[in-house]
Structure 1
Amino acid sequence: MKGLSLFIAVIVVVLVGHYVVLTYFDDHFKYGRMWETPAIRPHEVPIPVMTSGIVPFAGGDAIHAAMRAEDLQSPLDLTASENIDSGKKSYFTYCAQCHGKNHDGNGTVGQSFSPLPADLRSSKVQEQYEGRLFKGISFGIPNGRQPPLATTINPTDRWRIVAYVKSLGLR
Structure 2
Amino acid sequence: MAYRPEFTAALRLFARASAAMTAQGFEAPVLVGGGAVELYSKSAVTTGDFDLVTARQHAFEIALQDLGFVRPSGPGAATRGWMHPDLKLGFEVVSSTLLDGLADRDRLLLVDLDADGTAAVIAVEDMIADRMGQFASGSAPEMRGQARALLTLHSDADRAYLERRIREETAGEYGIEDV
**TM-score bin, normalised by smaller chain:** under 0.3
User: Greater helix share, 1 or 2?
Assistant: 1
- Given the two structures, how large is their TM-score scaled by the length of structure 2? 0.22
Higher CA-based Rg = 1
- Given the two structures, how large is their TM-score scaled by the length of structure 1? 0.23
User: Greater strand share, 1 or 2?
Assistant: 2
